[in-house]
Amino acid sequence: MSVTVAYHVTPRENLPSILSRGLQPRIGERSADLGEPTPRIYLFPTPEDCDTALSSWLGDWFEEVEENGLLILKVDVSDIELDSDAEYELSCSEVIAPSRILEVMSEDWKKIPHLSQQKKLLSAKHEESEAGFSI
């Protein structure tokens, strides 16, 4: 399956770090419970696959997260090596840069413009700090 965009679900509290440092491969609590040996980032190839997961196993996993506490990130995955053990899920072992996050959405797929603006500001700060400038 060749995809250019994919969808990542994350708790809202992770967004500032993701927008600053990108998506980082990890062995999270769920991956550790499943015995996953390699740090990875998990994504869904379609909105339908993401919805299905949220309404079943992934939603169950995040049941402790407060109402509207999850976000869906639309991610540019073109030219990124992706693996798949299941048709509904993709994984990646490399960092996905903040610049590849195309949209930030709520669980009901509504764009969150102020968070998208925050992404632009954080990306600008990151680029300037790497160049030796600060805002």
Domains by residue range for the chain, with CATH: 5-128 (3.20.170.30)
Give pLDDT, residue 85.
84
Q: Model confidence over 3-45: pLDDT tens digits?
A: 899 999 999 999 999 999 999 998 767 665 666 668 999 999 9
When pLDDT is averaged across residues 43-59 and rounded to a whole number, the result is: 92
> Contact at 8 Å (CB) between 58 and 10?
no
Complete edge-to-edge strand list for the sheet that includes strand 101-106: 5-11, 70-76, 101-106
Beta strands in 1-135 (DSSP E): 5-11, 41-43, 70-76, 83-86, 89-92, 101-106
> Contact at 8 Å (CB) between 18 and 102?
no
Q: What is the pTM of this model?
A: 0.80
> Contact at 8 Å (CB) between 44 and 90?
yes
